[in-house]
């Protein structure tokens, strides 16, 4: 089974790139499931119900999020009901929405997705290592037929991402990092069969700063005045990873994807 994971979709250009490139990518790699991080899909900050629906309608099966999840308050009631937009599991056990989803389609094996957030250089959260183990044991109990599990680990620190990758090696199909918006070139298969990349990258304008307008971000850095930044305009790229798996849920290969529209 082949699974496509798309790095943080940033604003309208990110949505445009995903919509334009997805059909050919899915065809090229024979994709069964498409997962995308959508925490920056609405103007670079957060996601709205309309934008979530638009992403799902373009052929994304599940949207994960991150630290910007609650930026638009109308997403809270939407996510409380949704099974296809999830938030980091370990922000708080009392948070609305879910941090785990199980996807099922005819003709292919089911896929569980767990969204976690890091604690290093991030806002306070529960332990992602403990949250991961708890989620996996609940999945095993509630969905014993699910052998494929993908983790989106939304985190800043490379060390924390690598550590969780090693911790979950052999327990999950893949751990893909998000949040930094910079695709790393360290994709590999851990010894027990878990695919890993520190960061899947970003889907949006590549000649801005992390997808945002570079002049406005430069103003911030050079003046220390924290003003709102707009989404960048320019060359659009979709960045992500494709993982191929065996029937037992082990990763066989992991490939970086980087395509311009
Ligand atoms: Fe992001
Ligand atoms: Fe983030």
pLDDT, average across residues 219-225: 96
> What's the structural domain count of the chain?
1
Single out the catalytic residue among 16, 68, 72, 130: 68
- CA of 66 from ligand 2 middle (Å) equals 5
- CA of 241 from ligand 2 middle (Å) equals 18
HEC string of 178-226 equals: ECCCCCCCCCEECCCCCEEECCCCEEEECCCECCECHHHHHHHHHHCCC
pLDDT at 257: 98
Strand partners of residue 100: 114
Place of tokens 């997805």: 22
Q: Which ligand is nearest to the CA of 40?
A: 1
Q: Which ligand is nearest to the CA of 115?
A: 2
Q: Which ligand is nearest to the CA of 88?
A: 2
- CA of 39 from ligand 1 middle (Å) equals 6
The sign of the dihedral angle between the CA atoms of 41, 66, 23, 212 is positive
The sign of the dihedral angle between the CA atoms of 14, 42, 4, 122 is positive
Helices H / strands E in the chain, number of each: 6, 13
- CA of 141 from ligand 2 middle (Å) equals 31
CATH number, residue 128:
3.60.21.10
Boundaries of domain holding 237: 2-260
pLDDT at 122: 97
Whether 68 sits among the annotated catalytic residues: the reply is: yes
pLDDT digits (tens, 9 = 90+) for 61-80: 999 999 999 999 999 999 99
What does the alpha-carbon distance between residue 198 and residue 13 come to, in Å, rounded to a whole number? 24
pLDDT digits (tens, 9 = 90+) for 97-156: 999 999 999 999 999 999 999 999 999 999 999 999 999 999 999 999 999 999 999 999
pLDDT, average across residues 246-255: 98
- CA of 179 from ligand 2 middle (Å) equals 4
Count CB neighbours of 172 within 10 A: 29
């Amino acid at each position: 089974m082949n699974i496509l994971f798309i790095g943080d979709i940033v604003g309208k250009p990110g949505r445009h790139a995903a919509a334009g490139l997805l059909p050919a990518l899915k065809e090229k790699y024979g994709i069964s499931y498409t997962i995308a991080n959508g925490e920056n899909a609405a103007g670079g900050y957060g996601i709205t119900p309309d934008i979530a629906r638009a992403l799902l309608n373009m052929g994304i099966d599940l949207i994960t999020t991150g630290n910007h999840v609650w930026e638009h308050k109308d997403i809270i009631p939407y996510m409380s009901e949704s099974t296809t937009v999830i938030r980091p599991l370990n922000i708080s056990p009392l948070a609305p929405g879910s941090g785990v989803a199980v996807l099922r389609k005819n003709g292919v094996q089911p896929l569980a997705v767990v969204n976690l957030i890091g604690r290093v250089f991030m806002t306070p959260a529960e332990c992602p290592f403990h949250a991961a183990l708890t989620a996996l044991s609940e999945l095993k109990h509630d969905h014993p037929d699910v052998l494929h599990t993908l983790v989106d680990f939304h985190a800043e620190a490379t060390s924390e991402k690598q550590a969780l990758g090693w911790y979950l090696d052999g327990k999950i199909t893949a751990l893909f990092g998000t949040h930094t918006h910079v695709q790393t070139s360290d994709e590999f298969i851990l010894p027990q069969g878990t695919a890993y990349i520190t960061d899947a990258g970003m889907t949006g304008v590549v000649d801005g700063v992390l997808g945002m307008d570079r002049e406005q971000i430069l103003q911030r850095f050079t003046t220390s005045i924290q003003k709102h930044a707009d989404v960048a305009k320019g060359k659009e790229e979709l960045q992500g990873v494709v993982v191929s798996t065996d029937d037992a849920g082990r990763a066989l290969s992991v490939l970086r994807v980087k395509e311009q529209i």
